[in-house]
Each structure stands twice: as structure tokens, then as C-alpha cells.
Structure 1
Amino acid sequence: MKHLTMCTLALASALSFFSVSGCIKESGAPILGETDSENVADQESDFQASYYYLMARLYDIKNETDLAQKALEKAIAKDPDSSFLQREYIICLQKQEKSGQAMALAQLLAEKYPDDVENLLLLARLKKGDDKDMTLLLERILELAPEDKETFLRLGKVYMDEGMTLKAMNLFSRMTTIFPDYYVAYFYLGETQRIAGNPEAAKKSYLKTLELEPDLIEPRFRLVDVYKAMGEEINKAEIIKLLNQVLSLEPGDEKALIELGLLYFNTKDYQNADDIFALLGREIRKNTDLVLNIAQILMPEDRYQDAVTVLSQIRKALPGNANINFFLGMAYEGLEKPDKAIECYLKVTPDHPQYKKTILSIAFLYRDMNRTVEAIQFLEQHHRQSPQDIDITSYLASFYQENNSHDIAVTMLQRALKEAPQNTDLLFKLGVVLDAAGQRRKSIETMKTIIRLDSEHASALNYLGYTYAEMGINLNQALKLVQRALEIRPEDGYIMDSLGWVYFKKQAYDKAIFYLEKAVELSEYETVIAAHLADAYLKTGQREKAIAMYKKALDNAKPDHEKEIMEIKEKLKNLENPVQ
């Protein structure tokens, strides 16, 4: 430690003629208007600030950020006007995951020095999201520092995320003018042109990107997309050339092989397609996880038909591969072909890590095809094989409930609870089934039991609070229950609806509307929630809004909303054709 201190003093002495804020103080040249004593005092203060700053740097190197923070506090005390020290302090807080404190200080610093680019850049780096404030901040930074690459890219991305493609395009076009040799600017210019539906311009930008950086992979894939949009058949040679370039740069690149196989297959060049798919099949024999990579390349972009083509062709050589059948089932689900999906899922073997998910998926597919009895029979078979499996028991009980076989569901859940009496998932399912069976008091007691076992169980808190609201009882307690649930899951539209509905029952209609409007946004206008908002509009005399919202509720209604559909239609009938 003594050696560390000596090194620090030596460094501090060497830099003592610099102020930490970056101003050089020349020896023997006092600042105008200062006395010699004041100048000496300033130099001592600068020396001490530099010393503590260097101590902070050494602590930071040793990952002792708490000590670094204290050293920076001492440095700032010696030089309180230094933006540099303030920024270092904020960065130190961020390293300690004190994000709230760091953000607050960064905001204050930016407000104090609104033209200091470094302060604004720090604030932009700390900010999360792409809200309006972020857009304005980045635009301001670019005004002050028109050649800051980071800000160009961030602002362009914000514009793109907000759907302002033209603004993004103009920004990246400007960037290529300022930085004519910066390949990233041309790449993002190409992105905006492609999104805007200008493939010729996008092609030029991507080609310029490759001219500047010939070994890049991603611009080649983008060019493949552009050529496809311009006509896969007529640009086949160009696409093959690009994909072969990728494979030359990255031998075995899975995406390139997939795209090449699809191109040959879609243009009826089946011999070359078979060769590519056979190669992928051989690789899968060596590494079955490659199937997951294929799914991750195609399915996030909703390319389900392409996924079916690739996986079906590969499966010809590997018909029993559980991984292929699992992801092929997922692709058929994406295409809304449930029979085909079930056919694939049934070939997934019990040793597959997603076997239980496969079982549940098959049951839900049967149910969604209005074949609930088959869903029940299928799950019963697996329930007998694994009677301790809580998930299968719970979903099987749900299907019995949907089939109005409440007694069977209750018996099954109670039997499972004898083995696991404190399992809150089973208890919650039991409470829901009891409520559906008309045993509301028992349902309430079950929910209370869950909350005693787990005071953070948001679903039980919400269910009990909503039940009280529906019954018009214990409304103050209902409010507390639902508010607590919302603290735990603040973005849950159904809990937000419950809060609005409690206020509705308390006749606080303005508050009800406030929360119900949030709830319909979060739930994408779910039928019951939209009907609740329409009821609240009606109570406040907003008849036209109520009619529009009832219609929105009907538009989003599902077959199992039969009761709600009838009630909403009756309300609309009375509103649109009032009895004179």
C-alpha cells in the first residue's frame, strides 16, 4: 500500500499543472485578477483534486468501486465545477449498478451545462428506450457535434424503430457525405432504402458497403434479400454467387446453406437442393443442435413455409430425429396446420428435453380444433404414466373444467394436493375450478390460503380482489389486493382491468376509465376488458365512446365468450335503438 501511495503522489505531481477539468495552468503566469496567494490556493486545490482522481482510477483498476466512489467525492469537493469529475463519478455509480442515482445526476449535469457535448453523450448512454426525450437529446447532440458517429447511428436507429424511415434515410445519407469511407453508414442507408421499398438504391448502398469492407457477411445476406425482392428466378446467378462468397468466407455457414438449398428447391433445381439438404443432414448427425439453429434462422421471421421445406427435406434421411420432428411441428403450428403439427409432435421421443411441452402442445391443438374429448383422453394417458406431474394434472383439470366436468377436475386437483398440499399452482387451479363450479366461497378461501403461503402471488391477489369487486363486497380490501398485484406485475393488462373494475364498483368512474384505458391497450382490446371500459364510458355519459368500445369488444370476441357476446349485443341494441 505504501508503494501504491508513492506512485500516486508521483503521478499527481507530474500532472499538477493540469486542472482536472482540462485547463492548463502555466507556471509563473497567474490568472488575471488573482493574487499570488489565490493562485497558489487554486494550484493546491487542483493538485488535491488530481490526487484523489488518480486514487479513484487505481481503485477502479482493482475493482474496488466503492473506494473509487469515495475518492471521486473528495476530488469533486476540491473541484466542484469540474464536469469531467462529475462524469467520472456518474460512471462509477453505474458500475455499482446504482442506475437511478447515476441517471438523476447525469440529468442534472446536462441541465446545468446544456451545451457540453460530453455531458449530453453520457446522459444518452445511460438512457434506455427510444422515447421522445431520447430523440430530442440525440438531435441536440448532433447539432453540437455534427461529426459524432455514435450519435448518428443511435439517432438513426431510433428513427427506424419509431417507423420514421424517411428521416432515418436522410440522416444516414448525410452521414455518408460526412464519412464517405465509413462502411457502417452505407449499410444502414441500405437498410432504410430496403425498408422503404427501394431495392435498386439499397443494392447500391450494400455494394458500396462491401467495396469498403469486402469481408463482411451481413451485407451479402441483405443483397440476397434485395435480389429476391427483385425476382428470385431472374437474379438466381447473383444470389448463388453471393451465398458462395459467404461460404468461402465462413465455410459451413448454416444460413448460407439454408438459403442456397431453398433457392435451388424453389427454382425446381432439385438435384442441387438435395445435395445441400443432404449436407445439412450429415452435419445434424454430428450435432443435433444444428436443427435449433435452422429454426432460429427461419422462424423468428415467420418463414414457417421455408422451415417446413428445409426440415421436411432433411427429415427424409433422418425420419426418426426427435429434434427435427419437434421443430417441424412448431413450423406447422405457425402455418396453422394443426393435424400436420400433431403428426410431427407424436414422433418426438420421451428423452427429448421438450417432450412435456410437446405433450401439452398436442392437447391444446386438439382443444383448439374443438376436439376437447380427444385432448382429455390424450392427457389422461400421460397423467396415468406420470401422476405426479403437476403441469399435466393442472392442464388436464382445465380441460375438464372447459368440458363442464367440474367435479372430476376438483377431485383430481384435491388428490394431487394430498401429495403436495402447499403447491400454489395446484391450489390456484383448484380455486378457479371451484369458482367455475359455482362454489365461490370455497374458491375465496382457497385464494386466501395461497396468499397466506405466498404473499407475492400476484394471480391469487388479483383473482380475490376481482372476485370481491364482482360480488360488490369488501371493496376497500379488493382495492388493496389488486394494487399489490399490480405492484408485482405492473404491465399486466388483466390486473390493470381489475383495478379499473374495483374503482367502477366504488363508483369512482373517472379513475375507472383511467385504468381501464390502460388495460385495453395492454390486453390489445380483450373482449371483457373492452366491455368494462364501455360500461365506464356509459356511466360518465360518453355514449358514442361506449358504443365504439362495445363494438371493439365484439370484434375481438372468441368462441368461449358466448355469454359476454350476448350481453354486449343486448347493450348495443338498447343504445342504438333506445326505447322511446
Structure 2
Amino acid sequence: MMKSLGVMVAVGVAGLWSMAAVGGCANVAPSQVAQNDVKASAQSKSDVPLTLASASQIGPAKGDQARLTRIRESLANRQAAYYYVIGQLLLRERAWAEAEEALSRAAEADPSAAEVHLLVAKLATQRGNLKKAEKHARAVVAQSPDHADARLLLAGILNATKQYEAAAKEYNALLEIEPGHVQARLMLAQLYGKLKRADEARLALAPLFLDEETAWGAHLALGRAYVNQGDAEKAVGPFQKAVELGEGQIEPVMALGAVYQDLGRGPDAEKLYRAFLKEHPNNRVIHNSLGRLLLNRDDRNAALTEFRELTRLQPNSVQARLTTAFILLSQGKYQEALSDLRLAEAMQPDSASIRYYLGQALEYLESLDEAAAEYAKISQGQPFYPEARIRLAYMLSDQEKHEEALAAITALNKLYPKRLDGLLALNYLQLQAKRYDAVLQSSAEGLSVKPEEGRFLFNRAMAYDKLGKWAEAESDLQAYIKLSPDDAHALNYLGYTWAERGERLGEAHDMLKRAAALAPGDGYITDSLGWVLYRMNRYEESLHLLREAVRLEPQDPAIVEHLGDVLMALNRRKEAVGAWRRALELDEDNAALRDKLKQHGSAQ
């Protein structure tokens, strides 16, 4: 028991005590008065501030007066009492920071007030000021070595600040005071794992293994000790025992499921979760864990079933609705995704995340004005603001509004100058707007931020090509392909260009065969492969591929023209002219093709 202020901790505060109050504060709320007093005291710590509201104004709770009198008589000094009461008043009104400051002043005024030190330590812990919390918890332990609550709090603080040896010492000291302290044994066991002494955890937990009520928790703590030690394999056995003994307890199931997944035993985790759900079909936590396991395995249909069940069990769960919508978006089920997103929006109408994904769903559904409206609602500083501005810029570019698109992305990049997706968007939009010199500059800037980002190389290569600087373009394409050897479109770009220029035809053929294998059924790559064979004078092979390319892309004039060229090389003049005429219908402004037809017009 403390010497002076210990009894005060138990007092509920409302209005508080009959100490003589001075100064009128009739129209000031109690919390205002208290906060003002704390601030005013900074000017003169030696004097009690004279701005406390009177007892009649605050209104003490019925029956408190006798206890308040006892408190007043037990105080070491009036200043300590004053700050303690102010602190309790602020606690009642949940003004945590101000309460902590007032109680700290009380502890300073009466250093022997162990219970006040303990209260300050708890408040400081709650607010994340662990250094301060440790100081006040140690003050209690120094005054009252047998104070179990203070020992437990101090051990927890030391554990949180990674002072593991010191924390273990405090837990052991607490167990000397209270050998039956279950929480201390459980925490000490897990701490031993962090100290790479998991085998000592068994000794700490020994009494708990023998008690039917605590045995499952002890096995759980032992498993966590092994996990903390980095020995997931050894954790499996204790976790399995915890699941067996703690029938219906969710913690062992979660722990065992997590370690199964860490060990690459996903099917065992799934079996575990499904077995639990068979007995507890409405457990939302396990449905969520199973759903995320299935998502990680890319089993989207099965994951969707779990998250659909979650939305049934918890219709107001925004997170379940959002996850369901994400899966549906990834499956191309845009209308269904939109429905879930609208329900989520109804629950959180101001959520920037929901607005962003609504915008995406509406984009996919080609409701572009609605999509733009959703993106525009996201304000600077909110989540997904940069992403929304980037999507708006892309949409403007798709509508041929290139100047507006570039203005939008340039403004964003001024706010976030090193953001990679913003730099990539600027780079791409400049390419779309045919600002080829600007592409060269933004590519250099982007590569200075992330040298291994190949998309800057690829876009710069296209810009160089458009500027007639093929040597530079070729170098960038080859560098990009080294970074991304399975990019079929990059392989096609370089291979086709070599074929078109009549250069390195053997390498081009090999490159285009690889591209075709990576993207089977791509009409443009099929055309390129047929065209390089044409350039190699392998006309029959070329004809077969170019007919297939026209079948895949019948509206592309260049592909249809290529078919005409190979037919002419095979002396099938009438068919060639027919193919060229179809190509001209698709591209009426193609003067070169028109001249070609004039030269061979007599073959009709």
C-alpha cells in the first residue's frame, strides 16, 4: 500500500472534492478547466493554479464525499492532490494526453505515490511513450518490489522495447511473488523463444501443462516460443496439441494454420480450416483465413466462395465486400464487382479506396464519365489519390485529349516527383502524344530513379525509332529484352524491325519463333513470323503464316498487304492484287499501296 495517494486510484471522479475552490468558471466545461490548469501550471510549478471549478459547478456523484474527504486527509501535499484529481477528471472525459500530463505532475509532487506512477506508466504505454512508461513502472517496482501489476507491466514494456533479458528477469521476479501467475508464465515462455532458449519455455510452462484449463494455452505458448526462435517445424507439435486440447478455441487453429503456410503446407492448413468450419460454420475469422489462403494459391473461385460466405455472415463488413469485388474484377465479372462495391459505398460513402475501385469497375464497363466522376471525388492526401489522377490522365489520353492528359500527370508529378508510376505514366503519355524528344528526357529521369525499370528503355526505344535513330533504338530494345526475355511484344518489335530492314534475318526468325511460342494466337506476331520468312525467300512457309495472320486480324491493312506481297512472290498475281485491294479499302490514304496496284493493275 502506498504512503499517501494509493487510495485515490480507486475513487471514481465526478465533481470531485470539497477543497476550497477559488475563482469562478461558471460557463467553462470541466475538461476545459482541467486542460487550462495543466497548461497554466507550466508557468509556475511551485504554485497550485487557481482556476479549478467549484464542487457545486462540477457536481460530485452521490456518496463520493466521504471517500473524497479520506483522500484529502491522506495526501502528502495539496499540489499532488490537485493534479491527481485533475488527472482523474480528464480520464473520465477520455482526454488521455492531458490526463497523463496532470498525473505526471502529481507523481512529481509526491514521488512516493506508487499507484500514481503506475497509472502514468499505463497511460504512457497506451500512448506509445514506452520510455516514459518504463521510467514510471520502475519507480513503482523500486518502492514496492512485490507489486505484481507493476512487475507485469514493466516486463511487457521491456519485451516491447526488445530488452528481452531484462523482461525475462522481471517475469521470473513476478513468479517468485506469485508462482501461480498464468499470464507471466505464458509470456515468459514466448520470450524464451526470442532469446533462442525455447527449451527453457517447457520448464516455465510445466505447472500449466498439468492443469486441464490452462494446458491448451501452455502448448500454444510453447509453439510460439519455437516460432519466435525461428524453428517452425518444432512448433507444429505443440500447436497440434493446443488444437486438440483447446476444442473450439480459435487461437491454436490460427497459429497452426499460419505455421503450416510458412512451411509450404498449404493443403494441411486448408484441411485444418475446413475441419474447424465443419464444427463452427459461422466463424468469420476462419472463413477469412481460408479465403486468403485460397487467394494466395490463386484459387479464385474457391476464395470467392469463402468471401461470399463472409458477406452473408457479416453483411456490414466493408472489407469482405471489397475483397469479393477485387476477386470479381480479376475474373472480369465487372457488373458483379460493381454491385459489391456499391454496397460497400453505402456503408462507407466517403471511402477513397471504394471510390477508386468503383472507378476501375466503371472503366471496365466503359461507363467512362461515371468512372472519371468517382476518381475526381478523391482528394489530395486521401488514399489512392495519385492512382486516381493517373487513371484520369490515361482516360484523357484514350480520348485523344493529349494536352489535358499531360497537364494532369505533370501536375501530379510535381507533388510526387519520385513516384515511379507517375513517371511511367508521363513517359507513356508523351509517347502517345508523339512528344518523342520529351520521351527521351523523361526516360532518363525515370531510369535515374530506378535503373532496372525496363519500361523506360522500351518506351525510349520506340521514341528513338520514330526519330529515325535506329542504332539507339536497337540498343535499348536489346537491353530491355535482357531484363525481360519473355516479353513477346518486345521480341516482336525487334524481330519485325530487323526483318523489315533486311538485317540479321536468322536472329530475327529465332526471336519471332520465341515470341510466337510465348503468345500463341497473336495475329501481329504471326504476321511478323510470316514476314521474316518472306524476307528469307521461304515463300510457301510465309504464305501459310500470313493467311493465318489475316484470319486472326482481318481488319489490319498491313497484314493484308503482306499477304498480297507473298502471293505476288509466288506468281499468284490475281490473288495478290485482290489482297492489295482489300488492304487499300482498309487504308485508303496509303499512296505506296495505290502505286503498287497501278503497277500490277493489268493482272486483274
For this structure pair, what is the TM-score category when the shorter chain's length is used for normalisation?
0.3 to 0.5
TM normalised by structure 2 equals 0.43
TM-score (norm 1): 0.45
Larger radius of gyration: 2
More contact order relative to length (CA 8 Å, sep ≥ 6): 2
